[in-house]
Amino acid sequence: MKPLHVVVWNEYVHETQNPKVAAVYPKGIHQVIADGIKKFHPAYAVSTATLAEPEHGLTQERLDQTDVLLWWGHGAHDKVEDKIVDRVQARVLQGMGLIVLHSGHFSKIFKRLMGTSCALQWREAGDKERLWVCNPGHPIAAGLPPTFTLPEEEMYGEPFGIPTPEEQVFISWFEGGEVFRSGNCWHRGNGKIFYFQPGHETYPTYHDANVQRVIANAVAWAAPQGCWQDVLRAPCAKDPHEPISKK
Ligand code: ZN
């Protein structure tokens, strides 16, 4: 059986410009996320892509082979070419899974797929974050404790300008008192989308074992189930399957 093909996309800008971020993620956020997925799913084919690569590392050919795409972006959302966004959106509608992380809430692709502002409250003050599993039977919560903490994270607070999630897996509380819908699921076309809030670049969030488990679970959950492309390529039946009585 073909292994699940996973691509971790990262704009990879802060790590090359900010020594504080480089100290936490010397090989880039994408590499730590990819290594975390491989730890839980050694059979998956996990690779990475970054903004600076030709076509941002997301050629049509590569996307056609991708089952689940993860997206981390922050300072360079506007540098992502619209034609690549079109391409990713089309693949999601066909059935590719998409996992949007942290500041990816303002990426072109997430805003396009949500159709709403995706705006939120934020504060960079090293708040402690407590995540609560509010849907313990959900596959993305498998193997997690009922609640876990991150010693420091960027506060993201409500109201979060998203369509009401079809499924909510996590809700977070921050030391400053705010709450946030921090793990949410949607479908668009045949594709599954999961947004997960933790992951500010100056904190070692993607090294955290619980966070790695959430992301690994989300990749498995978002795996394609059938593909609309196959259906669209099938011959279209002009002749009806039942006789239509002439009126
Ligand atoms: Zn951030």
109 Cα: distance to centroid of ligand 1 (angstroms): 17
The answer as to whether 129 is a domain residue is no
Confidence of residue 135 (pLDDT cuts 50, 70, 90): very high
Q: What is the pLDDT of residue 229?
A: 59
* Distance separating alpha carbons of residues 31 and 10, to the nearest angstrom: 9
Residue 86 pLDDT exceeds 70:
yes
The answer as to whether 207 is a domain residue is yes
Residue 148 pLDDT exceeds 90:
yes
Residue 112 pLDDT exceeds 60:
yes
| Domain region containing 46 | 5-115+183-222
The answer as to whether 244 is a domain residue is no
What protein residues have CB closer than 5 angstroms to ion ligand 1?
103, 154, 200
43 Cα: distance to centroid of ligand 1 (angstroms): 31
Residue 168 pLDDT exceeds 70:
yes
The answer as to whether 92 is a domain residue is yes
103 Cα: distance to centroid of ligand 1 (angstroms): 5
Confidence of residue 147 (pLDDT cuts 50, 70, 90): very high
- Cα 66 to its chain centre, rounded Å, is 14
Q: What is the pLDDT of residue 83?
A: 98
The amino acid present at 54, given as its one-letter code, is P
* Distance separating alpha carbons of residues 164 and 167, to the nearest angstrom: 9
Task: With beta carbons less than 8 A apart as the criterion, state whether 110 and 71 touch.
Answer: yes
Q: What is the pLDDT of residue 231?
A: 55
- Summarised one tens digit per residue, pLDDT across range 34-70 is 999 999 999 999 999 999 999 999 999 999 999 999 9
200 Cα: distance to centroid of ligand 1 (angstroms): 4
The rounded percent of the chain whose pLDDT value lies above 70 is 95
Report the number of distinct structural domains present in the chain. 1
Element (H, E) at 36: helix 29-40
SS3 percent helix, strand, coil of the chain, rounded to 5, is 35, 30, 35
The answer as to whether 61 is a domain residue is yes
113 Cα: distance to centroid of ligand 1 (angstroms): 21
The answer as to whether 70 is a domain residue is yes
Nearest to 220, CA basis, from 30, 9, 40, 36: 40
The answer as to whether 52 is a domain residue is yes
The answer as to whether 94 is a domain residue is yes
The token duo for 14 is 């802060």
Q: What is the pLDDT of residue 242?
A: 86
232 Cα: distance to centroid of ligand 1 (angstroms): 39
128 Cα: distance to centroid of ligand 1 (angstroms): 14
Residue 28 pLDDT exceeds 90:
yes
Quote the pTM value: 0.94
What CATH number corresponds to the domain at position 80? 3.40.50.880
Q: What is the pLDDT of residue 228?
A: 66
The 3-class secondary structure across 91-142, one letter per residue, is HHHHCCEEEEEHHHHHCHHHHHHHCCCCCCEEEEEEEEEEEEECCCCCHHHC
- Summarised one tens digit per residue, pLDDT across range 176-214 is 999 999 999 999 999 999 999 999 999 999 999 999 999
102 Cα: distance to centroid of ligand 1 (angstroms): 6
* Distance separating alpha carbons of residues 202 and 152, to the nearest angstrom: 9
18 Cα: distance to centroid of ligand 1 (angstroms): 14
156 Cα: distance to centroid of ligand 1 (angstroms): 9
161 Cα: distance to centroid of ligand 1 (angstroms): 17
* Main-chain dihedrals φ then ψ at residue 130, nearest 5 degrees: -115, 120
Residue 20 pLDDT exceeds 70:
yes
